[in-house]
Structure 1
Amino acid sequence: MSPAPIIEDRSEHEADLAEIRQIIADTETAYNTNDADLLTAHFARNATVVNALGVRLSGRDALLEANRAGLAGFLRDQYASYELFDVLFVRPDVALAHKGARATDATGELIDLDHAMVALYVLVKEDGRWWVIARQNTLVPEKTG
């Protein structure tokens, strides 16, 4: 049996990384300013999201509706800082990105010492730009003891 391969496109990705970093930055800005349209802007029309509560949403319209409801409701006074952990290009037009999230106050001061959530983004490059086709959020349990 041959050893398992490392699957990653090794071509130059600096411009792609910059665009993906901007998607994460826009997501943080949107969350912190309650901008549901910006929060949804980078998702493909047929995107699927599983939020931190395990609720699955399919389609950009459903995601926009949920983002509007959440940011106008229970998330209205919530703030976060996002950190892009890594990006793996499995093909030149497909990337997996992991993002960590920590709660902050309205001024950006960290509340969480560790990441409270990790998200996996699946991105596809279509017509010269990156689109989020799937996102999976996972809450990180608080450390005890």
Structure 2
Amino acid sequence: MSHDVLVVGTLPPETRAAVTGVVKALEEAFNAKDPVALGAQFTEHASWTNARGTRLDGRAAITEFGAPAMKGFLRDSFARYDVVKMLEVTPGVIAVNVVQTPTDRAGDPVPGPRGATLYVIAEQPEGWRIAAGQNMAVDPPPAA
């Protein structure tokens, strides 16, 4: 995760760490192809729109979609998720901008579309979870 995070609002270090931890856990679940661990990062009634424009409503639907996708078209896809901005919407609700970089299985960057993701991460009784989000594929930057 990047250490150069733009923080808007008053976020104590433990909140920053918890929110970043959700993003890191999501990255680890994606790279491990574990749809249950991935779904566990979302609230029960989360709304998620993936990079293909498919909206999924609820943790169960996100997990259910993830299982065949991770065994199918995503099986050879890996990524690094870097938090680049946290915006305190209200206490206990943080908007988080994340840059997703395609990697190989070892975590080294590879050519390919990147992701620009916005998560709304909210404090829940069981901890911080993604309440809403949207992922957008972005063409790789031109070679320098």
TM exceeding 0.5 = yes
Conserved? CA contact 1:84–1:100, under 8 Å: yes
Q: Give 1:86's aligned residue.
A: 85
Matched, 1:135 2:130: no
Distance across 1 between alignment mates of 2:20 and 2:142: 32
**Once structures 1 and 2 are overlaid, which stretch shifts more, 123-132 or 91-100?**
123-132
Gaps of 5+ in 1: 1-7
Q: 1:90 to 1:75 in 2, by over 3 A?
A: same
Post-superposition shift, 1:112? 3.5
Match of 1:32 in 2: 31
1:120 matched residue in structure 2:
118
CA contact (8 A) 1:9 1:92 kept: no
Asked if residue 46 in structure 1 is aligned to residue 66 in structure 2, the reply is: no
Which deviations, in whole Å up to 9, do the C-alpha atoms of 1:37-61 show, x marking residues without a partner?
A: 1111111111010000111111111
User: Does the aligned pair in 1 maintain the 2:111–2:140 contact within 8 Å?
Assistant: no
Please, what TM-score do these two structures have when normalized by structure 2?
0.86
Shift of 1:142: 3.8
- How far apart are 1:141 and its partner, in Å? 2.6
**Distance change in 2, residues 1:109/1:43 (3 Å):** same
Q: Does 1:71 align with 2:56?
A: no
The alignment's TM-score, normalised by the length of structure 1, stands at 0.86
| Identical aligned residues as a percent | 29
Question: Quick check: 1:116–1:140 contact (8 Å CA) kept in 2?
Answer: yes
Relative to structure 1, the CA distance from residue 63 to residue 128 in structure 2 (aligned partners, 3 Å threshold; closer, same or farther) is: closer
Could you tell me how far apart the structure 2 residues matched to 1:71 and 1:49 are? 16
Mean alpha-carbon deviation: is it higher for 75-84 or for 120-129? 120-129
- Cα gap change, 1:128 to 1:15, in 2 (>3 Å): farther
Letter matched to residue 74 of structure 2: L
Q: Which residue of the partner structure matches residue 13 of structure 2?
A: 14
Q: Which residue of 2 aligns with 1:5?
A: none
Please give the secondary structure, in 2, of the residue aligned with 1:109.
coil
Amino acid at match of 1:137: N
Query: Which string of whole-angstrom CA distances, capped at 9 and with x for unpartnered residues, describes residues 104-141 of structure 1?
Result: 1111111148x711100011112262121101001113
Larger Cα Rg: Structure 1 or Structure 2? 1
Aligned length in residues: 136
